[in-house]
Structure 1
């Protein structure tokens, strides 16, 4: 874990992102106090999806009238534009 002041992180933001991309967590400080952590984002895996699908099926049996609406609604979420894309 690396400590950086807010000013240092601001001046070297590309480096901060590169470090996070490679698995490092950076602690941002201001006035000697810990202010924020920047690190790698969690990555979803097939197990996470499988668990979510199992939970969904338990809550929404296929004979439930709302099932189709829920499935179609979830598909819309997958096709929405990424608000963070450049």
Structure 2
């Protein structure tokens, strides 16, 4: 992992992003102290979502109904969604 100063990172930001896009990780320092680690973003896929949800119990009917009621407020023509609250 390469280390650069915050000043160098600011001056060469485009080059820094190019290096990160190419797979490099970079530590940015200020006053000889590490303040950030920059690395390529992890691309998420549907498989990642399926794996994350694999061990989670599905919501019960009451929860699903509450979500449906709440989202209906977002698409309602009513001007004050709290009027009946």
TM-score (norm 2): 0.65
SS in structure 2 of the partner of residue 65 of structure 1: helix
Q: CA deviation at 1:53?
A: 4.0
Q: CA deviation at 1:49?
A: 1.4
Alignment of 1:1-86 (within 5 A): 1-55=1-55, 58-61=57-60, 64-67=61-64, 69=67
Q: Which runs of 5+ in 1 are unaligned?
A: 77-86
Q: Which runs of 5+ in 2 are unaligned?
A: 75-85
The structure with more radius of gyration:
2
TM-score (norm 1): 0.65
SS in structure 1 of the partner of residue 43 of structure 2: coil
Q: What stretches of structure 1 move > 6 A for 4+ residues in a row?
A: none
More helix by share: 1
The number of equivalent residue pairs is 70
